[in-house]
Every structure is written in structure tokens, then in C-alpha cells.
């Protein structure tokens, strides 16, 4: 089954962002969940009637934000990757105009036994664009004893500024050929998360927040063009999801991060 989602976002020079056009086919739907219509940031939710990603699925998402447009794209629930023979693919392309902002913090991904998925993300930024991009990968269904029973998971995210590649994050997990519980992999942790952002003015607040998380291992790396990459290791999906949203709130509106 092939699924396609296309979003095009625009805004007036001083007004709130608005959805100009969209295209999607079953099982997907895009809903506007913006509560305050005066808020310059548009809030959209990507909804699906499918239980998750199935064998031979091809999911593509294209998002274009025109100058000054602001979008936060939400997901409805956890993304399940079911048992597969051939595998499935996901691709996402995001193009941000000058002074545009995009926040993408999807719910955690849960690979079932035998899941085989390739993800390719390409993000094209203007030097003045603002990006918050997160991802959480779990070990699978802990309650069913499916801890790292997936076949393979390969996710590659490329961030371009103009036409120049500024950052590439390449993650490959294949427990059958490369044990994940080694010192150079996840150690004794079962969940991992990452956050990529071009907003680098609040490093001290981020460090303070991460230092308060007693049972989460974290690190921040500054890449080219001031892009920050935050890596997290833990043992619970909800806690990592909450933490990513807290970090995003710090980046967007400077709230105090309370210790857990």
C-alpha cells in the first residue's frame, strides 16, 4: 500500500500562519487543531486510521513553509512498525522559507518483531529558518517480551542550509547482526531519542534541564552552522517524549524546566 501526504503552509506578513493547500489519501488525514487562531503558529495533526506501518508500505510526506510561516505538526499516537517480509519505507521532505519555523516531535516508534524499515528525511533551510526535529525509537513491545526483536531500522536525516549539506544523522539498528546492549551502542538502555535544532541561544537552560533528569543519559553536540544535536538514552517512552516536548518549550518560549 502506498500512502502520500502533502502539506503547503503559508502566512501573511504579520498575520497567523494558515493552511493554503493539502493533499492526502487514506488512511491519512490532516486536521487543524489550532486553539488560538491569533497565534502565529499553525498546529496541525497528522491522523491515521491504520494501526501502523505494514509490510511494503511507502509513506511520503512533503511540507513547504513559505516565508515567516510557523508550523507545529503533531501525531495522533505511537507509530507501530509491524512484522514484515519485504520491509517498508518512510520519506519526509521539508522546505522552509526565510524566517519560517517548523517543529516536529512525533510520538515514539514501536518496532514489532521482524520489523524492517528505512526512513529518509531531507530538510532544506534558509539561514534564518528555525527547526526543532525529534525522534524516539523504543525497543519494541516490552510487555510482550519483544525487546529488540526487530529485523532492522535505518533512519537518515539530512539538513541542508541553502543547497549545502550542513548535517547528516545516520542511525542503523540491526540487533541480529550488531548487539544493541554494548557500551558503544545503547548499553543497558532500551529507548533512545534525538533532537535537532537550529535554535542555539539557550544552551545553559537546556543543560540545566538535562542535568535534572537522574535516570536519562544525555549529551549535546554543536554541529556546523550552530545546529545542536541532543541525544538521550532511557528506559521509558513516555518520559523521553515528555522531555523532548519540554526541551522544545525551552527553545521556543524560555520556560523554567522543573527537575523530575
Per-residue pLDDT of 25-71, as tens digits, reads 878 888 999 988 778 889 999 998 888 999 999 988 999 999 999 99
Q: Are 137 and 154 in contact (CB under 8 A)?
A: no
Number of H helices, E strands in the chain: 2, 17
Residue ranges of the chain with per-residue pLDDT less than 70: 1-5, 11-14, 254-260
Short-list 100, 93, 65, 68, CA closest to 160: 93
**Which is it for the CA torsion 132, 92, 122, 219, positive or negative?**
positive
Looking at the DSSP bridge assignments, the partners of residue 172 are: 154
Stated as kind and residue range, the H or E segment containing 248 is helix 237-253
10 Å CB burial of residue 108 (0-12, 13-18, 19+) is: buried
The pairing of beta strand 217-222 with beta strand 191-197: unpaired
φ, ψ dihedrals at 190, nearest 5°: -115, -10
Strand partners, 212: none
**Sign of the torsion formed by the C-alpha atoms of 157, 184, 190 and 237:** negative
Contact 48, 27 (CB under 8 A): yes
Q: For residue 125, how far is the Cα from the chain centroid?
A: 16
Reading the block at residue 91, the C-alpha cell is 520519506
Q: What is the pLDDT of residue 254?
A: 45
pLDDT in tens, 213-237: 989 999 999 988 899 999 999 999 9
Distance (Å, whole) CA 79 – CA 146: 16
So what's the pLDDT on residue 251? 94
CA–CA distance, 12 with 37 (Å, rounded to integer): 13
Residue with cell 542503523: 172
Three-state DSSP state, 108: coil
Note the pLDDT of residue 259. 35
Note the pLDDT of residue 1: 61
Amino acid at each position: 500500500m502506498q500512502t502520500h501526504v502533502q502539506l503547503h503552509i503559508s502566512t501573511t506578513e504579520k498575520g497567523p500562519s494558515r493552511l493554503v493547500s493539502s493533499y492526502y489519501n487514506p488512511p491519512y488525514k490532516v486536521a487543524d487543531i489550532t486553539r488560538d487562531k491569533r497565534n502565529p503558529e499553525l498546529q496541525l495533526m497528522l491522523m491515521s486510521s491504520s494501526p501502523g506501518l505494514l509490510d511494503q508500505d511507502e509513506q511520503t510526506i512533503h511540507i513547504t513553509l513559505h516565508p515567516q510561516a510557523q508550523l507545529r505538526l503533531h501525531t495522533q499516537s505511537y507509530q507501530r512498525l509491524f512484522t514484515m517480509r519485504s520491509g517498508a519505507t518512510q520519506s519526509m521532505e521539508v522546505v522552509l522559507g526565510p524566517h519560517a519555523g517548523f517543529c516536529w516531535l512525533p510520538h515514539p516508534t514501536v518496532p514489532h518483531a521482524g520489523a524492517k524499515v528505512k526512513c529518509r528525511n531531507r530538510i532544506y533551510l534558509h539561514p534564518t529558518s528555525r527547526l526543532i526535529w525529534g525522534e524516539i525509537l523504543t525497543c519494541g513491545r516490552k510487555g510482550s517480551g519483544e525487546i529488540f526483536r526487530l529485523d532492522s531500522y535505518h533512519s537518515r536525516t539530512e539538513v541542508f542550509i541553502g543547497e549545502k549539506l550542513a548535517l547528516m544523522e545516520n542511525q542503523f539498528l540491526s540487533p541480529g547482526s550488531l548487539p544493541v546492549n554494548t557500551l558503544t551502542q545503547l548499553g543497558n538502555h532500551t529507548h533512545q531519542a534525538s533532537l535537532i535544532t537550529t535554535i542555539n541561544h539557550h544552551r545553559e537552560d537546556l543543560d540545566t534541564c538535562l542535568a535534572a533528569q537522574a535516570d536519562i543519559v544525555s549529551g549535546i553536540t554543536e554541529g556546523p552552522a550552530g545546529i545542536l544535536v541532543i541525544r538521550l538514552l532511557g528506559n521509558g517512552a513516555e518520559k523521553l517524549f515528555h522531555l523532548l516536548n519540554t526541551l522544545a518549550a525551552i527553545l521556543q518560549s524560555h520556560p523554567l524546566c522543573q527537575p523530575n
